[in-house]
Amino acid sequence: KRAEGVARQPGGPDSPKLEVRFAPAILSFIPMVWGDYWVIDLDPDYRLAAVSDRKGDYLWILSRTPTVDQAAYDALAKRIAAQGLDITKLEATPQR
């Protein structure tokens, strides 16, 4: 599967909040097409970001690059787990 979305950061550049839409741009004016997500952790070099929804039901680790330093990934996953999120369902996604 492939999903392409657009994110915007309400609240300014230091805000951890993200709004993401997967609907076509023409529907951007409809508030319900935007999902609310939060950046809950970053690795020190900003290579990886952990993103979740408000309830913690969804969780992603996003990377700036197609390959990920395993030590940085493991450290971020450990910090996420310490926040009480379930990291057992995280799956690596093959990148092109």
Residue 87 lies in a domain: no
What average pLDDT does the segment 59-79 reach?
94
pLDDT at position 71: 95
Residue 41 domain boundaries: 6-82
Q: Find the CATH number of the domain harbouring 64.
A: 2.40.128.20
Q: How many structural domains does the chain have?
A: 1
pTM: 0.82
Residue 92 lies in a domain: no
What average pLDDT does the segment 68-73 reach?
94
Residue 95 lies in a domain: no
* CA–CA dist 51, 79 (Å, integer): 13
Residue 88 lies in a domain: no
